[in-house]
Chain A
Amino acid sequence: MSILPSGLRRRRAPQPRTGAAAVRSTAPSLWPFVLPALAVYVVLYLGPALFGVYVSFMRWEGLGSPMTFAGLANYRRMLADSGMHTVLLNTLLLMVVGLVGIGIVTLIAMLVLQRMRGRRIVRVVVFVPYLISPIAIGVAFGFLLDPQGLLNVSLSSLGLDSLRQSWLGPDLVFKCVMAAVTWTLSGLAIVLLLAVIDSIPASLYESADLAGATAWQRLWYVTLPMSRGVLGVVVTLCLIQLMKVFDIVYTLTGASGTPPYSARTFAVEQYVTMSPFGGRPDFGYGSALGVAFVVLVTILVVLLRRLLRSEPVEY
């Protein structure tokens, strides 16, 4: 039922049979502690999610208009819509390219960051983009990449006019989105992985040094095997963030009107369907998009968990 990676599902240690058992055995009295949070979570999150599934089988143009049963019509429309194919492809491409990009950057960081001078500064500065509103990042990147923007002006002043591009044009804009997202999320991945790497016993690196290992060999034979357990968690977290990409697409495509299909992700497409841009909002279809999205993500996460499943390393 759970699609959480193994690292997130913590194994519960056997309870020691000491005096602590007396405290722990009064489990029923603990319900008042749990119930308020449980109620809020179920009523405002799980419940609405189930209602979303229900609406996805309806034809509904929004509040005030009648809701009629539509069966699978919304899902059929999704499959038949050629724009939807672009959206799906974009979302998958973003996930794959994002994960690969983050992986490469993280590998580079893991190679040297551990022993590097100024590692604290690097760690903090690299993490900052993750903290900043994607809208703000989108605006800044918009000016950076504008046809008359900082990048093109800099290229010209360096005499590299041939490299000038219309970065935000329909052909390139989604590539820029992918680069920006990779840039944002890599900091998160690095910070998460480094914390785990710091807890790898120094003795392992000492014996690697004694054996004359190079930096690359230290990474390949010590760091990576030792951090395999948390890799699954980091990949899942990055994946969840990659699926949600919305704001940055909106700002990079101009923030007025609707983004072109070539740059739409699932989240953007759903927002467009639900808001009255050029026509009526379509809540049934919007919900169906949401459901399809959940199914897609579940499949991806389960596949990834299969791929990354690992025996815990004993040392």
Chain B
Amino acid sequence: MAETTTAPRPPANFRAGPGPASRFFGDVLLPGGAKAVLWLWVGFNVLLLLWVLVTSLKTDSEVFDFLSAPSRLAWENFTRAWADSGFGRAFANTVVYAVATAATSVLFAAPAAYGIARSGRKAGGWLLVFFSLGMTIPHQIVLVPYVVMNAQLDTLMVDWVTGWWDQRIFVVAVSVAWQIPFSVFVLEGYFRSLPSELEEAATIDGASRWTTFREVMLPLAGPAVRTVFVLNLITAWNETLLVLVLINDPAKSTLGPTLLNTFGSLQNQSSWGVLFAGVAVVTLPILAVFVWTAGRILEGVTAGVDK
């Protein structure tokens, strides 16, 4: 955006100094109401979270006594969820899946973003649009092809190549492909904003393109790379539909489908405490990551927009 050059001109229909009635409305009533709404919203979010956490420590029979405190802390909900309902396995799977996906997508996207940022105007522009296209394709259209590819790949690898295959690898690969467009988009902007003097110095010192990227540019882009990594991690952590469609073995599933399954099968039983422990297991790690990286994620979310 251009820098300030002239003082802003008030719009023609702008009337300074409104009458007392509309001043009361615009300066007291409206802002006051808006603040009340916002604080109510904040209160709702906090209370909802607290309610889930408290309920996860109630015994099954107490879960529906919503307005009472637990008589004792039922930590066994968590051990039961962890061991019996498969949340332990799912947790391990989700950690591996989310970290592998986020790391691999950054590994592919960072060099690509750098390459695009430093290539000519025409080629770079087209490549960026081509990648950005991926952000607008709804995932619905690729699900059927993925089911086919998943099965074919399984047969191919087991019968002809390695004699062994794990469908989770395909899920990671596909998730990486989903995350590349967004990652490239955000990182490209960041790389382009970096001054090229340092690169020139490195080039004059005889460093290769790749060395320059790895030793000079990547460290400089550290904050952006970390933000993209965390955002991809969160997206992968919450992914459900893809895993639901591609992974049939509950032992290989992630937290989302496991929670969904537990919820579905609980309609007949009544281990409600376990269900809420499951919700806590799904929710708390993400909250921890968010609190840990706090403002940086919010900055990162806006990095792709505010240019």
Contacts and interface: CB of A to CB of B under 8 A. Distances in A.
B279 A112 contact: no
A215 B23 CA distance: 9
B66 to A, nearest CB: 4
A49 B145 contact: yes
Given A233-B305, A234-B305, A286-B143, A33 B111 contact: yes
B121 A12 contact: yes
A136 B147 contact: no
A80 interface: no
Interface residues on A, range: 35 or more
A278 interface: no
Interface residues on B, range: 35 or more
A215 B32 CA distance: 10
A38 interface: yes
Contacts of A84: none
A301 B287 CA distance: 32
B60 interface: no
Contact of B196 (A12, A23, A111, A256): A23
Interface stretch (A95-103, A146-154, A167-175): A146-154
Given A24-B119, A128-B287, A133-B255, A41 B177 contact: yes
B181 interface: yes
Interface in A272-296: 274-275, 283, 286-287, 289-291, 293-294
Contacts of B83: none
A124 B2 contact: no
A25 B37 CA distance: 55
B161 interface: no
Interface string B36-57: 0111011001101101100100
Contacts of B286: 131-133
B249 interface: no
A211 interface: yes
B170 to A, nearest CB: 9
Q: Would you call the interface of chain A mostly helix, strand, loop, or mixed?
A: helix
Given A10-B189, A230-B305, A124 B298 contact: yes
Given A49-B141, A214-B23, A274-B143, A63 B148 contact: yes
A52 B263 contact: no
A289 B140 contact: yes
B17 to A, nearest CB: 5
A45 B142 contact: yes
A45 B275 CA distance: 35
Interface in A1-44: 1-4, 7-10, 12, 14-15, 19-20, 22-27, 29-34, 36-38, 40-41, 43-44
A292 to B, nearest CB: 9
Q: Would you call the interface of chain B mostly helix, strand, loop, or mixed?
A: helix
B283 A315 contact: no
Nearest to A20: B196
B256 A133 contact: yes
Contacts of A112: 31, 34-35, 38
Nearest to B178: A45
Interface string A170-189: 00000000000000000010
Nearest to B142: A48
B205 interface: no
12 contacts: A9-B132, A34-B116, A36-B112, A44-B174, A129-B45, A131-B238, A203-B4, A207-B8, A214-B27, A217-B18, A267-B140, A270-B143
Interface of B: 1-2, 4-8, 10-11, 14, 16-18, 22-23, 25-27, 30-31, 34-35, 37-39, 41-42, 45-46, 48-49, 51-52, 55, 63-64, 66-67, 108-109, 111-112, 114-116, 118-121, 123-125, 127-129, 131-149, 151, 173-174, 176-178, 180-181, 184-185, 189, 196-197, 199-200, 203, 209-210, 213, 234, 237-238, 240-241, 244-245, 255-256, 259-261, 263-265, 267, 275-276, 278-279, 282-283, 286-287, 290, 294, 298-299, 301-302, 304-307
Interface of A: 1-4, 7-10, 12, 14-15, 19-20, 22-27, 29-34, 36-38, 40-41, 43-49, 51-53, 55, 62-63, 105, 108-109, 111-113, 116, 121-129, 131-136, 139-140, 142-144, 148-150, 153-154, 157, 188, 191-192, 195-196, 199, 201, 203-204, 207, 211-217, 221, 230, 233-234, 237, 240, 243-244, 246-247, 250-251, 254-256, 266-267, 270-271, 274-275, 283, 286-287, 289-291, 293-294, 297-298, 301, 312, 314-315
